[in-house]
A and B are shown apart, each in its own frame.
Chain A
């Protein structure tokens, strides 16, 4: 019986800027569910997400997304139609309303125009911003802007959702709601979340990868990372597993 190809296949991925290697021989297969990307600052998480968002091509190695090859123009366009991406720094037009901004990206994702309004309303309600839908972006708080960013990422009901530190700036209640939203989206799509917050990973992710200095030093479930925790530093078992895995990789 043929095995279905996973939504994300990364094979020997190398990324470098100048002489600095940012990602070194990354090998990952990621299927449906919520996948956590962990690692210290400068580990290469954002570069990996930008590569998967088809913003930068690999220096070496290959990736396949949603069964397609992003190196090919036609495939890349197809991938982008089914992609949701939230960058670490969300740029926005201060005079746009929440609705206008999300609608703009729905249009750039080439959603059928008849479906755009409904999709925008659902995305806005998904991040609980219904009461601010007509507000100008310049009037929103940092946490609200983050939710606008999440809404534009999910507006096309993406098959591949890439989120770079999505919970930064969200209050605890919003984070709980957001994790529930992620789990719901992860039932049918591949969600890759880069985060520093171990509790987000523990609560939402079914699988995680740990990057350090561009290398993949752990890939498994949160429970498997927890099991590595003996002798690690941290307040929670998962944090101890995280620090232990990093220390082991650096030894």
Chain B
């Protein structure tokens, strides 16, 4: 069939039905149009964690939203300024409190809007908790490292604030998971940290004792381990009819 014949046939023959699944085409097009582009952080987290669900759970962490992070930076800047003007290591004293609050507010009933639903998901909410807590801790540790650059007075205290921060974070997490209330977690973490700071300053009249006294480091380490154990217990299957939670 030459070109002219083909042209004639096209004009005289009815059009052939296309072998295309239009519903499938529509579904694919709608999926492309409706889907939101995935952010860089979420993409990277998805690759690192090997789970896109966990990655999205991470970027929805309440204590890692922009406004929270900005507030943390502002508090820490105030701490750096106070460190410079008073000579006391306020940044080092504020960091554990900031981290404790952030960790307690990372996940849980009343904190995560979709908490009830998340508990019935294949990706375990214990993993969601773990990933979020780790991310909040790393964020606060980075803030601490940056603060040491601007408040050279506390540079030598790097390991001193890191361990108290781990202890207060673990305490906030343990209290929040045991009581199933982020506010309780925050209250306990702040109260205990406040008591430690004031108690250690009792004899020395120096607020910095809590982060400068090397003798307290083993206590912080022990406290961190104990609180981590309590969190594991609180999120395990050994608590009556809440047994399936956090698995």
Contacts and interface: CB of A to CB of B under 8 A. Distances in A.
B35 A108 contact: no
A85 interface: yes
A130 B245 CA distance: 34
Interface string A37-76: 0000000000000000111111100000000001101001
Contacts of B243: 56-57, 71
B116 A89 contact: yes
Interface string B225-247: 00000000000010011111101
Contact of A91 (B34, B114, B123, B237): B114
Contacts of A93: 60, 113-114
Interface residues of A, number: 48
B120 interface: yes
A83 to B, nearest CB: 6
Decide if the interface of chain A is mainly helix, strand, loop or mixed: mixed
B136 to A, nearest CB: 18
B121 A91 contact: no
A82 to B, nearest CB: 9
A133 B117 contact: no
Interface residues of B, number: 36
B120 A83 contact: yes
Interface string A188-206: 0000000000000000000
Contacts of A71: 243-244
A77 B241 contact: no
Contacts of B32: 117
Interface stretch (B23-31, B149-157, B165-173): B23-31
Contacts of B28: 117-118
Contacts of A70: 244
A90 interface: yes
A120 interface: yes
A24 interface: no
A97 B124 CA distance: 24
Contacts of A81: 122
A146 interface: no
Interface stretch (A99-107, A179-187, A219-227, A228-236): A99-107
Contacts of B247: 73, 76
B119 interface: yes
Given A57-B237, A59-B240, A121-B31, A92 B124 contact: no
A15 interface: yes
Nearest to B242: A56
Interface string B27-67: 11011111110000000000000011100110010000000
A57 B239 CA distance: 10
Contacts of B241: 15-17, 56-59
Nearest to B28: A118
B53 A104 contact: yes
